[in-house]
């Protein structure tokens, strides 16, 4: 909590803000330690953290979430509102005024607060100066503590083990749904908290970016691609793997070997001080030189409580990499048969060189279900 206070205070100083207001599940969890699951399922029901430059942080939530917050929150100043009776924004305005922030400079999550609440906020606090603080939160969260890195590495290794085991059973005749159900069930059996996402496509669906498993049986020669993850103790796994059902063709092996090589070279460039866009450019250039059919808007992203955290490895991200960032590196390419190959690993930025924390299985060579 002390480290968090230091980081938040420095960020508030840098952005010249008197306070920030967090409303996303990710930032509320990061700041309070309380995981309010309904923030995603029931978006109307806001949970809010006010983090002032001076004074104590404040937590505002729906009355029926208060018992959970009292148990789990590190923030002890808790305020509630009764749903359908008092608007969460009206309650927020009360709390801000009580903190002497009526005419203050306040940052909020422009990328999360919805138009209805945004208009109400501007009306309720006309003397405050509001500005987007999404970037402030991105920058605070993009540097992980060793505790966060340990949680991310654990989530990644478990998830990779599940994929590895699923690929052992992905033989002709089994359906995509059988493989997918096994994967999802294994995540819970091995400790996932929830938030499972599963992209799984084989054969004619292996060229679609985000397909869901179908009842279709696998056939020999199918490319099978998964992009898979879930939440363990509040932190996400996100990994992609590609295999061939039965014996792979020489062309398939060759595409995989080249993509693996490009991913390895891209990972090697993940060093403190390197610009995120330069990692993208390197990957793009090497993919072209290697003859891969490459076309991606980004080739990686920060990972943490959120799925696409800062920095995105896109051609437009100026951010310099720093120690203790956790970055998913995920080049994909299209094979001549129309399928998509995809390899995604989690890399920690270290002074001594990139640390890959996501390989429980043997992925150097294209996996074949022989």
Q: Pick the stretch among 7-15, 104-112, 150-158, 161-169 that binds a copy of itself (CB under 8 A).
A: 104-112
Least Å distance, CB 335 to a copy of itself, is 14
Q: Does 161 bind a copy of itself (CB under 8 A)?
A: no
Which tokens is 196 given? 């499972």
Pattern of binders to a copy of itself over 14-43, x per CB under 8 A?
---------------------xxxx-xxxx
Question: Mind giving me the DSSP string for 309-362?
Answer: EEEE-STT--PBP-TT-EEEE--EEE-TTS-EEE-BEEEE--TT--EE---SS-
User: Would you tell me the crossing angle of helices 88-98 and 115-124 to the nearest 10 degrees?
Assistant: 40
Closer residue to a copy of itself in complex, CB, 184/354: 184
User: Would you tell me the crossing angle of helices 134-142 and 25-32 to the nearest 10 degrees?
Assistant: 50
Q: Pick the stretch among 59-67, 249-257, 322-330, 347-355 that binds a copy of itself (CB under 8 A).
A: 59-67
Contact status, residue 110 vs residue 134, Cβ threshold 8 Å: yes
- Reading phi first (left if > 0) and then psi (alpha if -120 to 50, else beta), residue 338 is in left
Q: Does 336 bind a copy of itself (CB under 8 A)?
A: no
Least Å distance, CB 310 to a copy of itself, is 11
Q: Does 356 bind a copy of itself (CB under 8 A)?
A: no
3-state per-residue secondary structure call for 286-323: HHHHCCCECCCCCCEEECCCCCCEEEECCCCCCCECCC
Least Å distance, CB 2 to a copy of itself, is 27
Name residues contacting a copy of itself, limited to 182-211 (CB under 8 A). Answer: 184-185, 188-189, 193-194, 196-199, 207-211
Alpha helices, H only, 143-275: 146-168, 176-189, 250-268
Number of residues that bind a copy of itself (CB under 8 A): 59
Least Å distance, CB 123 to a copy of itself, is 13
Q: Which of 7, 87, 94, 134 binds a copy of itself (CB under 8 A)?
A: 134
Which tokens is 245 given? 């059902």
Closer residue to a copy of itself in complex, CB, 6/209: 209
Which tokens is 135 given? 């970037």
Q: Which of 118, 249, 257, 323 binds a copy of itself (CB under 8 A)?
A: 118
- Measured CA to CA, the distance from residue 153 to residue 347 in angstroms comes to 9
Pattern of binders to a copy of itself over 239-258, x per CB under 8 A?
--------------------
Which tokens is 67 given? 């018992």
Residue position matching structure tokens 């429980």: 360
Q: Which of 2, 3, 115, 364 binds a copy of itself (CB under 8 A)?
A: 115
Interface contacts to a copy of itself, rule CB under 8 A: 35-38, 40-44, 62-65, 67-68, 71, 82-85, 108, 110-116, 118-119, 132, 134, 180-181, 184-185, 188-189, 193-194, 196-199, 207-212, 297-298, 307-308, 312, 314-317
């Amino acid at each position: 909590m002390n480290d968090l206070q230091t980081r938040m205070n420095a960020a508030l100083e840098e952005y010249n803000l008197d306070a920030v207001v967090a409303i996303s599940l990710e930032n509320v969890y990061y700041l309070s330690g309380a995981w309010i699951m309904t923030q995603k399922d029931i978006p109307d029901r806001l949970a809010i953290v006010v983090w002032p430059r001076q004074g104590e942080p404040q937590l505002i939530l729906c009355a029926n979430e208060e018992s959970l917050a009292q148990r789990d929150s590190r923030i002890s100043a808790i305020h509630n509102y009764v749903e359908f009776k008092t608007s969460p924004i009206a309650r927020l305005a009360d709390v801000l005024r009580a903190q002497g922030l009526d005419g203050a400079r306040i940052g909020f999550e422009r990328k999360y607060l919805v138009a209805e609440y945004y208009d109400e906020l501007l009306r309720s606090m006309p003397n405050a100066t509001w500005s987007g603080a999404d970037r402030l939160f991105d920058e605070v969260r993009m540097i992980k503590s060793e505790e966060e890195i340990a949680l991310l590495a654990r989530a990644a290794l478990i998830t990779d083990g599940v994929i590895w085991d699923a690929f052992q059973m992905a033989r002709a005749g089994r359906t995509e749904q059988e493989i997918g159900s096994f994967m999802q069930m294994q995540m819970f059996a091995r400790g996932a908290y929830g938030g499972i996402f599963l992209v799984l496509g084989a054969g004619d669906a292996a060229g679609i970016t985000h397909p869901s498993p179908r009842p279709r049986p696998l056939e020999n020669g199918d490319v099978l691609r998964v992009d898979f993850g879930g939440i363990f103790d509040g932190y996400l796994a996100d990994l992609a793997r590609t295999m061939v059902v039965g014996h792979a063709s020489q062309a398939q092996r060759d595409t995989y070997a080249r993509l693996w090589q490009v991913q390895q070279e891209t990972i090697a460039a993940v060093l403190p001080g390197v610009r995120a866009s330069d990692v993208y450019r390197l990957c793009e250039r090497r993919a072209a030189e290697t003859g891969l059919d490459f076309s991606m808007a980004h080739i990686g992203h920060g990972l943490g409580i959120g799925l696409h955290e800062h920095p995105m490895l896109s051609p437009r991200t100026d951010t310099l990499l720093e120690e203790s960032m956790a970055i998913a590196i995920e080049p994909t390419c299209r094979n001549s048969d129309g399928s998509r190959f995809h390899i995604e690993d989690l890399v920690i930025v270290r002074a001594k060189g990139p640390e890959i924390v996501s390989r429980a299985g043997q992925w150097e060579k294209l996996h074949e279900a022989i």
